[in-house]
Structure 1
Amino acid sequence: MYIGQAAQRSGTTIKSIRHYESIGLLPAAQRLGKYRVYDQHSVELLIFIKCAQQLGFRLKELQAIFAGHKGPQMPWDLARQVIAVKKQEIGERIAALSLQHSQLVEFEASLEQARVDCPLNSL
């Protein structure tokens, strides 16, 4: 299939496909004359890349998954490792945000108490 059809099937854009090829996320497509020709494996990789980006992966992180990968199969073991690392990072951010939220609640309560205790309120 040509690049337009690959873009349509994967839910991405022609520009994105060209970019992914240029940075090594997607193997260079076969050529039929001057046209790029993609197979189902390429579409599956594009879908994977799009889903991963929607889940917060940056292209550099995805490049780590695909670095040196030339085979027809997805590097699932490496993908699982990278996903585990991403989950750990998210867990740490959740914990930090939860602590920040608790501190804001305490700070807000202390401000309210300071307002109530303020001697100027009795004037």
Structure 2
Amino acid sequence: MRIGELADRAGTTTRTLRYYESRGLLPARRAVNGYRTYDENDLRLLQQIRTLQDFGFELEETRPFVDCLRAGHPAGDSCPASLAVYRRKLTDLDTLIGQLQAVRAQVGDQLARAELEAEAQEPGGPEPRCELTH
């Protein structure tokens, strides 16, 4: 198949495919007429890359999965290098989740403090001026 058909089937653009080719993630095969040619294996590579990117993987992190598929394995994550990338990504995600939980706790504490202060104001007293609304 030609580049336009592959892009359509993969749900991406020809520009993206040329970029992947320049990065060595997609093979650069040419027909006698000079057109790029692709097959179903190339579509599998693209689907693997797109799935991983949907999960938040950087493009370079997809390389071990692509290499694994190119080596003839039935799945891109059946090689040790791919499993190592999964492990690193899970560690990164766990760190990020921890950071988000800490921020959430701080925001919750600030909300609780602000609500207590608002309740403690004298009824009928002047409303504090909010710089954002006035």
Determine if the TM-score, normalized by the shorter chain, exceeds 0.5. yes
Q: How does 1:68-79 map to 2 (within 5 A)?
A: 71-73=71-73, 74=76, 76-77=78-79, 78-79=81-82
Structure having the larger proportion of residues in strand: 1
1:58 shift after superposition: 1.4
User: What is residue 2 of structure 1 aligned with on the other side?
Assistant: 2
- Structure 2 runs not aligned, ≥5 long: 126-134
Tell me the residue number matched to 1:99.
102
Alpha-carbon distance in 1 for matches of 2:40, 2:66: 17
The higher radius of gyration belongs to 2
* Structure 1 residues 46-79: Cα deviation after superposition (integer angstroms, max 9, x where no partner): 1111111111111132246557x96454463222
Gaps of 5+ in 1: none
Alignment of 1:17-28 (within 5 A): 17-28=17-28
Q: Is 1:59 matched up with 2:59?
A: yes
With a CA cutoff of 8 Å and minimum separation of 6, indicate the structure with the bigger relative contact order: 1
Counterpart in the other structure of 1:89: 92
- In 2, distance between residues paired with 1:80 and 1:89? 14
Change (3 A) 1:55 1:75: closer
* Match in the other structure for 1:111: 114
Aligned positions, number: 121
More helix by share: 1
More moved, 91-100 vs 57-66: 57-66
Provide Cα deviations, 1:3-41, integer angstroms capped at 9, x if missing partner. 122222222221111110011121222433211111211
TM-score of the superposed pair, with normalisation by structure 2? 0.75
**TM-score normalised over the length of structure 1:** 0.80
RMSD over aligned Cα, in angstroms?
Answer: 2.5
